[in-house]
Amino acid sequence: MEDVVKTLKVRVKNEVLTTRKKEKLRRITGRDTRIIEKYVRIIHHNRKKIGIKAKEGKIKVHKGKLDELTLTTSRVKKEEERRTTVPHDMKKMFPYCSHDEFQECRDIAVQLYEQGYRPNNTRPPRKRARRQLINKKRFILVHLPKDKNNTLSRWWVGIRDSLDRWKRKTRFHQRLWLPLEMSEFHQKELKKE
């Protein structure tokens, strides 16, 4: 049986963000949306190569074969198993994106395609950031006590700032801290999980 991931939409308090943070968040979500749309187009135009299967009325996309079309490999131990060229090289199209970020966007694109979204649909998917909350390495959810120093929000999410690493030339990302507007409903749902 498949694991069911329950998502919970929480509003970010944009009105208290600095202009710089708003711009970073806009750039991260915009870039990821473009990558996701590119993946959906690649899936759609390479249906036979990817080996899309329809099981019990559900479409299933083979992620490994999609990776063979889009991502090169350089850290594979055996030389003959490395892919140095691929037909749709995502790294050339989006040079500042890491391999893990491509795979996160790929997973969202596969999910969209399996749910019926196609590149020529009239209604494009809403802008969506990577699902930061799936992998705890990519996000931190913090609840701060109410005091005089913390007036903006009691709940904060720290997402991985994927745009900073290339400027600083390091292997590690800093965090982009965003204040959340959590209602009683959101807090109850978090306690259930």
- Domain assignment of residue 99, yes or no: yes
State pLDDT tens for residues 138-153. Answer: 677 887 877 766 677 8
Interval 32-39 mean pLDDT? 90
pLDDT (tens digit per residue) in 50-91: 877 777 777 888 898 999 999 887 776 777 777 888 899 998
Is the residue at 182 inside a domain?
A: yes
- Please indicate, yes or no, if residue 107 is contained in any of the structural domains: yes
Q: Based on the structure, what is the number of domains in the chain?
A: 1
d(CA 73, CA 81): 8
75 located within any domain: yes
Percent of the chain with pLDDT over 70: 77
Angle in degrees, CA 71, 74, 79, rounded to 5 = 115
* Domain assignment of residue 132, yes or no: yes
In a domain, 5, yes or no: no
Q: What residue numbers bound the domain in which 129 lies?
A: 11-192
pLDDT at 119: 76
Q: What is the pTM of this model?
A: 0.72
Domain contains 168? yes
Answer yes or no: is 119 within a domain. yes
Q: Are 74 and 82 in contact (CB under 8 A)?
A: yes
Beta bridge partners of 143: 155
